[in-house]
Amino acid sequence: MYSKRLGTVEPVFGNLESNKGLKRFTLRGKEKVSAQWLMYCMVHNIEKIATQGEISH
């Protein structure tokens, strides 16, 4: 199960951390952090659509 995660989920976190600079959330509070997380995910998915034409879940 871990090896499957290694190829699907971990690259997303690596991209967000190294390319997008998401090492920490800059906002406080659950709602604001949740909104910030969703924005990062949205940017990741839009970039993926633009380059590959698909969204990974």
CA-CA distance, 12 to 45, in Å (whole number)? 10
Instruction: From residue 29, give the alpha-carbon distance in Å to each of 21, 33, 34.
Output: 20, 6, 8
> Model-level pTM greater than 0.85?
no
Mean pLDDT by 10 residues, the chain (57 residues): 73 82 88 92 88 69
